[in-house]
Amino acid sequence: MKPGIFITGTDTDVGKTVVSAGLALVLRGRGMKVGVMKPVATGCYGSDEKLISQDAAFLMEAAQNEYPPLTSPSRFRNPLSPNVAAMLEKKEVDVPNILKSYRELQKHYDFIIVEGVGGLMVPLKKDYYVANLIRDMGLPIVIVSYAGLGAINHTLLTVDAATIRGLEVRGIIFNRVAVANYSLAELTNPKVIHDLSGVPILGSLPNIEGLNMDNCQFGKLKEIFQERIRVDKIAGNLVGAIPQK
Ligand SMILES: Nc1ncnc2c1ncn2[C@@H]1O[C@H](COP(=O)(O)OP(=O)(O)O)[C@@H](O)[C@H]1O
Ligand SMILES: [Mg+2]
């Protein structure tokens, strides 16, 4: 099986898309053929026949991918949990089709970055959560979190939910950390979370000026990601194996 990573988070809006895009930019910059996938997307826009996921569009721009239906096989208009959006829109989350799209994408790329929807316990359909999809895809995970007050609880809950379900947690990335005037919580939380969970901390990203998902602007995401995130711990020995461009 070709390698890949599933980017999940403690919550929605925590920075999964930004981290997924940053990873895609860095790996692509190192000469890897990187595929991206947003298997289930809600809050999509456009006509019913051609619903667009903003997350998928941003990721595809970062990775320069060419297979839109495979990248985003399950799209819903309502900004709701997928099971509820599916019910309202009289559709369903077609898991076999998602897994088929994933296997098809694997044929085209060296490494696949999959962005989740919400967190691990977001229901996709009856008795089936994001965590189940990750298991069925057979991918390790990276957890995107924040470093401020509340992060210990949210991050440890996510690590526990993953571990109980047999998922391999490669590490935690803190997003939107302060670069000056840290709060006491931001200063102390990463070490506390590492000590209590035993999960590697892969780095942290500050707020990136000029990053704008609405018009696919990355600002200095690639450079900052490269400098501050342990990419080798995510993509394993693949990173060193591919000659840098
Ligand atoms: N490090 C960052 N720098 C600048 N903007 C960010 C950063 N992280 C997230 N954002 C912005 O915050 C919003 C939520 O981030 P996003 O990656 O979409 O979260 P998620 O995918 O977890 O829902 C987006 O508008 C995104 O552009
Ligand atoms: Mg997202």
Quick one: which atom of ligand 1 is closest to the CA of 206? Answer: 1
Active site residue 38: yes
| Cβ neighbour number for residue 169 with a 10 Å cutoff | 18
Whether 226 has a pLDDT exceeding 50, the answer reads yes
28-46 per-position pLDDT tens digit: 999 999 999 999 999 999 9
User: Strands 128-129 and 123-125, how do they pair?
Assistant: antiparallel
* Exposure class string for 177-197: b at 16+ Cβ within 10 A, else e: beeeeeeeebeebbeebeeeb
pLDDT given at position 244: 45
Quick one: which atom of ligand 1 is closest to the CA of 213? Answer: 27
123-155 per-position pLDDT tens digit: 999 999 999 999 999 999 999 999 999 999 999
Angle ∠(213,215,219) on CA atoms, nearest 5: 65
- The closest residue, in CA terms, to atom 2 on ligand 1 is 207
Any residues with Cβ below 6 Å from ligand 1, and which?
A: 9, 12-18, 175-176, 205, 207-208, 211, 213
| DSSP structural state of residue 7 | E
Percent of the chain with pLDDT over 90: 90
Q: Are 9 and 68 in contact (CB under 8 A)?
A: no
Quick one: which atom of ligand 1 is closest to the CA of 11? Answer: 22
Q: Measure 14 CA to ligand 2 centroid, in angstroms.
A: 8
Nearest to 71 by CA among 93, 52, 87: 52
Rounded mean pLDDT, 11-16:
97
Domain 4-232 annotated CATH 3.40.50.300 = yes
Whole-model pTM above 0.85?
A: yes
